[in-house]
Structure 1
């Protein structure tokens, strides 16, 4: 929309408060702030929701892979052949054999349920999710036959242990006696404590070399499952389809969506619902723009009539008031982007300040899975938010602009 010099001058004049127009200016300022708050709220909430999903996905996949080929009864026969076939399948980047078994852990008179995971040494050393988040001890101390293990930080706190201390793992697969099966109890030394940021994992995981896990669970040379990484987690079904013939009767494939289906579906529904609900804030804000422009048109009726008698066109008057409204909306959008960026940058400090003032734990990791408030801003979503706010601001200007353009100068000046 191109304005001539006179129309630009009028638009600037109507954006600034004139004599006796302080209330109109106040309403317009409130409209600008309302648009800013609506845009900021949308950007903040959508960024946090995206960050929560992305961080949760990265950490879950970092430990569980995109899919698991799970052997029946926790034992996978011919696992070498299956792993080799998986690595040759297009779209699969890694196929990692592992052992995973829920057991009991005991130390200092405390007992907790744990999830023992046995990995090859190269997989333990190459797992960035664990190795980059070691809070105590050294992952290099964990070697086959060393009797050393790594545990999650929350489990270490619950059992009251730290590197150098011992814990006992209790396996129901023990030896048979005349009085029944006696559980197998093996003591291990804590070599490292890690914290990946997912509460359920930090509270349960026990990592050890695969040979030690096979000895503990009396599996011989067998493994329990194969962890698979793919090039595209969203197409994991298509990528793994050729493997179905190989594992038929031996194992079952469970992908990341099946393992965490309820969680990720709930996140997606909540994300869409929050976008719709918070969009209503922007809608309410543009109604303020509508009301301020209607008040401005009413206050400027005589000026509009004079301008019309001097040769101003209806189209020109419409452009002036549309420009005023869109300018208010645009300034609000810019302010909202700035507010949203500032909040997201200092988000953890804001959460800490609110917790200090209220005394409430707003980010309990046992409830929210992650230990910090995440954020990941999607440029396409920000663009969509800006576009929606601009369109709504433009639509809010049409009725006041039409009323201004349809002003009859004869009727107005006759009674002025």
Structure 2
């Protein structure tokens, strides 16, 4: 939209408060603030939702893989051959044998339900989700037959255990005797404490060498499942289809989407709902721009009439008021972008401060899975938010601009 010199001058004049026009300027300022808050709220909420999904995906997949191969029965027969078939399949990056068994751990008179995971030592140390999150101790001390295990930080807090503590794992499926089944109890030393950042994992998981897990669970040489990672998590079904065809009748494949279907579907629905609801804030701000421009047109009716008699065109009048309204919207968008990114940068500090002031736990990891407020800004979403705010602001200027352009200077000046 190209403005002539006099049109730019008048538009600039109308953007600044004149004598007796403080109320109109106040309404325009409120419109700008409303656009700013709407844009900032959308950016903050959508970035947090994206960060929440990305963090959950990275950590859940980091521990459980893109898919798992499980036997139809309690064990996975011929697991070495199945692991070899999976590893040789194009697109598969790893096939890791695992044992997972829910057991009970005791320490200092406290007992907690846990999930014991047995892995090969090389797989434990190469797993970035575990290896990169050690808060105490070292994974180098965990070896087959060493009697050392790694436990989650929340579990350590619940038990009151630390590195070097002796914990006892109880397997109710022990050996049968004439007097009944005797539970199997084996003592282990805490060799490392990890904090993945997902509450359910940090409060439940105990990691040990797969040989020790087989001894604890009386599994012999068998394993419970094979964890598979691929080059593309979204194409995991297509990549593993050859494997599924070869192991049909012996084992089944469950991908990450099936394992966490309810969680990720709920996040997707909540993401759409939050975007829709928060967009209403921008819509309300646009109505404020509309009302402020209508008031401005009413206040400047005599000026418009004089300009028309001096040769100003209808299109020129429309452009002036369209530029005024769009400028208010653009300034609000810019301020909203700044506010949104500043909030995201200091998000955890803000949450901690509010918690300190209110005395309330706003981010309970037992409810929200993650231990910290995540964030991941999507440039495409930010672009959509900016365009939406600008288009709404532009549309809000059309009616006031049309009313200004349709002003009849003869009728106005006759009664002035």
TM-score by length of 1: 0.98
Deviation of 1:73 (Å): 3.4
Question: What is the CA deviation profile of residues 121-165 of structure 1, one whole-angstrom value per residue up to 9, with x for unaligned ones?
Answer: 111110111111111111110011101000001111111111111
Give the corresponding residue for 1:300: 300
Question: What is the CA deviation profile of residues 187-234 of structure 1, one whole-angstrom value per residue up to 9, with x for unaligned ones?
Answer: 111100101011110011010011111111122221111111112212
Aligned counterparts of 1:75 and 1:319: Cα–Cα separation in 2? 75
Give the corresponding residue for 2:78: 78
8 Å contact kept, 1:74–1:225: no
8 Å contact kept, 1:65–1:229: yes
C-alpha RMSD of matched pairs (Å): 0.9
Deviates more, 1:169-178 or 1:316-325: 169-178
The within-5 A match list for 1:280-291 is 280-291=280-291
Deviation of 1:379 (Å): 0.5
SS in 1 for 2:73: helix
Structure 1: unaligned runs, 5 residues or longer:
none
Question: What is the CA deviation profile of residues 41-70 of structure 1, one whole-angstrom value per residue up to 9, with x for unaligned ones?
Answer: 000000111111111111111101111111
SS in 2 for 1:69: strand
Question: What is the CA deviation profile of residues 251-287 of structure 1, one whole-angstrom value per residue up to 9, with x for unaligned ones?
Answer: 1111111111111111111110000000000000010
Aligned counterparts of 2:260 and 2:392: Cα–Cα separation in 1? 38
Deviation of 1:367 (Å): 0.6
Give the corresponding residue for 1:7: 7
8 Å contact kept, 1:329–1:393: yes
Q: Does 1:414 align with 2:405?
A: no
Deviates more, 1:2-11 or 1:28-37: 2-11
Aligned counterparts of 1:328 and 1:350: Cα–Cα separation in 2? 29
Aligned counterparts of 2:117 and 2:238: Cα–Cα separation in 1? 28
SS in 2 for 1:220: coil
Aligned counterparts of 1:408 and 1:367: Cα–Cα separation in 2? 64
Give the corresponding residue for 1:134: 134
Q: Does 1:254 align with 2:249?
A: no
The within-5 A match list for 1:8-157 is 8-157=8-157
Aligned counterparts of 1:282 and 1:257: Cα–Cα separation in 2? 34
Give the corresponding residue for 1:353: 353
Aligned counterparts of 2:43 and 2:342: Cα–Cα separation in 1? 11
SS in 2 for 1:413: helix
Deviation of 1:88 (Å): 2.0
In the alignment of these two chains, the number of paired residues is 416
SS in 2 for 1:73: coil
8 Å contact kept, 1:199–1:369: yes
Deviation of 1:92 (Å): 1.6
Aligned counterparts of 1:4 and 1:231: Cα–Cα separation in 2? 57
Aligned counterparts of 2:183 and 2:247: Cα–Cα separation in 1? 32
Aligned counterparts of 2:198 and 2:345: Cα–Cα separation in 1? 22
Aligned counterparts of 2:387 and 2:90: Cα–Cα separation in 1? 40
Question: What is the CA deviation profile of residues 73-132 of structure 1, one whole-angstrom value per residue up to 9, with x for unaligned ones?
Answer: 331111111111112222221111111111111111111111010111111110111111
Give the corresponding residue for 2:266: 266
Deviates more, 1:236-245 or 1:298-307: 236-245
Question: What is the CA deviation profile of residues 331-373 of structure 1, one whole-angstrom value per residue up to 9, with x for unaligned ones?
Answer: 0000000000111111111111111111111111111100001
Deviation of 1:310 (Å): 1.1
Aligned counterparts of 1:336 and 1:145: Cα–Cα separation in 2? 59
Aligned counterparts of 1:6 and 1:402: Cα–Cα separation in 2? 19
Give the corresponding residue for 2:366: 366
SS in 1 for 2:362: coil
